[in-house]
Every structure is written in C-alpha cells, then in structure tokens.
Amino acid sequence: MRAFGFGYLAVLLPLDLGRFGFGAAAVGGYLSLATLGGLLLNLLLARRADRSGRRRTLAIASGLLAAAGTLLALAQGPVLLLVAAICGTVPPGGNGLFSAVEQGMLGGHAGQRRTSVFALYGFLGSGATAAGSLAAALPDLLAAHGVGVMAAFRLMFALYAAIGLGCVVLSLRLGPEVEAAGAEQAAQRSFFGLGRSHGLMVRMAALFVADAFGGSLVTTSLLVFWLHARFGMTASSLAALFAGVQVLAAASLLLAPLVAKRIGLINTAVWTHIPSSLLLMGVPLVGAAAPAAALLLARGLLVEMDIPTRQSYIAAVVDPEERAAAAGVTTMGRQVGQLLGPAVGGLALAAGALVPFLLAGAIKIGYDLSLWRLFRGIPERS
C-alpha cells in the first residue's frame, strides 16, 4: 500500500509543484526539504524503535503519512505543501523510517534465506511502486471525462492520506514476534542503539552519504520534471515509463540472490550497480524522448540489484538485536546524502541538463569501488 502511494506521488508531486509556479530549482529545494523531514523523523524514531516498539513506530510514521496526504489534498498554495514535506513521509525521503524498521523485522526471522527474503521484500515494493507509477495517469484519464486537472490531483492526494490510515491499522495488527529481543541492553550502548557494530555501520553509513548524494541529483521526481520540460512528455507517458522502470527493477530483484550465491553479496552490490550508473550518464546525451526512455528502462534492470544484497549484508554482520538500529543508521546516512542532492540537481538542471547526470554517475561509481575495497574482506555472519 505504501509503495503504491510513493509510486504515483513521485510522478504527480513535481507536476503539481510546477502548476504552483515552481521551477526546476524550487522543485529540487522542495525535494531536499522532504528529505530533511524524513531524516528528522528517522533520527527521532528509528534508533528508539526497538525499545519503543516496532509496531508502534510504524503506526506513528503511517499517521504522519496520512497527515501529509491530507495537507497535499488541501493545499491551495505553497504553505501547506511545505508543511507536508516537513512531515517526512513524501518522496524522496518518505520511506526511510519504514524501511529501517522493516529490515530489522525481516532480518531477525529470515535466517539463511535472508538475501532471498530481502529480495522478495524489494520485489513486492518495486511491483507496488510500478503500479503506483502507472496510476499517475489517472488525472489525465479523469480530465478526459470532465474532471478538472486540479481536482483529479487533489483526489490522488486524498487517496495517499487514506493509504496512510490503512497502514496505521495494519501496523498495529502485526504480531508480537516482530518486536526485538534484548533490545533494552542494545539500545543503551550508543546514541544510535549500536554496540559491537557501531564503527562498522558508521563507516558504511558514510559511504551511503556519497551514494545517496549522487543518486539524489537526479531523483525520480527531478527526472519527471526534466523529461516533461525537455521533451514535453505528458503525465500518462511518464506514468507508463516509470511503471516500466519499476517492473524491470522488480524482476531484477529476484535475480539478485541467485547472483549473490555465485559471487557474494558485496560483489553483487558493486558490479551490477556500476553499469546502471553508466546508463544514467548517457541519458542527457541523447536528443529525443525514446532513446532517453530506453536508457532509463535498461538502467531499471540493474539499479536495484544492490538493495537486497546490501540489506542482507548489513543484517549478516551485526548482532541480531542491533539489526533495526543498524538499518536506521545506514538509512540516515542515505538521507543525509539526499539532503542537498535534489536542491543542487534542480539548480543544475535549471542551468543545463548535462552536469547532474554525469556528476551523479561519477559519484555513484566512486561509491561502488570504495564499498568493494573496504568491505569485501569482512566476512558475513549467520
């Protein structure tokens, strides 16, 4: 449910901001503000989730998601839009806390099937995101049947609020087995609730800052805005494109465990990620919508294969009672990296399209090589 909402909001939100007069730089600044909200939410709740209750933490975050959707639906100007971003539950920063807590839940029950479980988790999320991206065509369809475009957007934002309320109910109905064992002792070891693995996770989080900064220079929402501005792509065509990207990404996630069994978790994360960055660097070099879309679709086959392998590796090298906290720390690293990326990317897109794509690819390739060099020799635990 949540991924479905993120899928269409990532497409519709930048188009809605454009209708309020936001340019590329302002859209980038807004996305950075949304990331800051997600970081603050993660900082406040993720490190305490094991002590306060994982179900309760998810329910609180879901309530804020509902609040953000309500504010977006009611917005008639920039003020409520900005407040919605601060809630921390809209793309690109909206999934951080949810993902951190859920990784802790899954890592404690998957055992030797951990990589496959994380791959299935990612597959379900990407599939739902693809369906959400496709649903972003609904305002165009409604407009063709006489519904005003603004009214159609407001309906989609109201649906986002309803999704948040549904997630509150489902979070509270999870069983007690998802809660952490021995969390009280672990949570007191450091500010982030980490003990033995504190140094290791801080180093990994530092790398994630660089990777996330590179990726956030050209987030999905900025890509939507750029493709619309440069090639005149409509909401319907953008919805179809990014639904296709997510479908391919979902399919590739199921291959990640098979590849990891042959070459290892870190090798899979690195050597599938580098080609995806090269494809991203090629997007602004083409002069038409079709080849740009083809490069983005090809990138979709590779760009997320590192996610389940990375998540599985983190769960494998920390103590069981630290898994939610470790996921929270590394997620915060990604959110820190995403803080300035959209704002910088938006300014660069306003000046000329080439720089953010090339810079993003170069930074992400540097991250991959650093990850391989620093972590390939650290063994995984059961």
| pLDDT score of 190 more than 70 | no
pLDDT tens-digit series, residues 111-152: 678 889 999 999 999 999 999 999 999 998 988 888 888 899
Report the pLDDT value the prediction gives residue 192, as an integer from 0 to 100: 64
pTM: 0.79
| pLDDT score of 191 more than 80 | no
Report the pLDDT value the prediction gives residue 382, as an integer from 0 to 100: 47
| pLDDT score of 184 more than 60 | no
User: In the predicted model, what is the mean pLDDT of residues 349-370?
Assistant: 89
Angle CA 210–96–294, to nearest 5 = 65
Give the count of beta carbons closer than 10 Å to the beta carbon of residue 302: 20
CB 220 within 8 A of CB 35: no
User: In the predicted model, what is the mean pLDDT of residues 335-347?
Assistant: 86
pLDDT tens-digit series, residues 255-312: 999 999 999 999 999 999 999 999 999 999 998 999 999 999 999 999 999 999 998 8
Report the pLDDT value the prediction gives residue 51, as an integer from 0 to 100: 79
- Which range (48-57, 123-132, 191-200) has the least confidence? 191-200
Q: 21: pLDDT confidence band, cut at 50, 70 and 90? A: confident
pLDDT tens-digit series, residues 74-96: 998 888 989 999 998 998 878 88
Q: Spell out the SS3 assignment of the chain.
A: CHHHHHHHHHHHHHHHHHHCCCCHHHHHHHHHHHHHHHHHHHHHHHHHHHHHCHHHHHHHHHHHHHHHHHHHHHCCCHHHHHHHHHCCCCCCCCCHHHHHHHHHHHHHHHHHHHHHHHHHHHHHHHHHHHHHHHHCCHHHHHHHCCCCHHHHHHHHHHHHHHHHHHHHHHHHCCCHHHCCCCHHHHHCCCCCCCCCCHHHHHHHHHHHHHHHHHHHCCCHHHHHHHHHHHHCCCHHHHHHHHHHHHHHHHHHHHHHHHHHHHHCHHHHHHHCHHHHHHHHHHHHHCCCHHHHHHHHHHHHCCCCCHHHHHHHHHHHHCCHHHHHHHHHHHHHHHHHHHHHHHHHHHHHHHHCCHHHHHHHHHHHHHHHHHHHHHHCCCCCCC
- Which range (183-197, 317-331, 367-381) has the least confidence? 183-197
Q: Which residue has the higher pLDDT, 305 or 108?
A: 305
- Cα distance between residue 247 and residue 241, in whole Å: 10
Q: What percent of the chain has pLDDT over 90?
A: 48
Report the pLDDT value the prediction gives residue 110, as an integer from 0 to 100: 67
Report the pLDDT value the prediction gives residue 380, as an integer from 0 to 100: 67
Report the pLDDT value the prediction gives residue 347, as an integer from 0 to 100: 86
Can you say whether residue 179 is alpha, beta or left, with left for phi > 0 and alpha for psi between -120 and 50 degrees? beta
Report the pLDDT value the prediction gives residue 5, as an integer from 0 to 100: 96
Structural domains in the chain, sorted by start: 2-372 (1.20.1250.20)
Report the pLDDT value the prediction gives residue 210, as an integer from 0 to 100: 94
Report the pLDDT value the prediction gives residue 108, as an integer from 0 to 100: 67
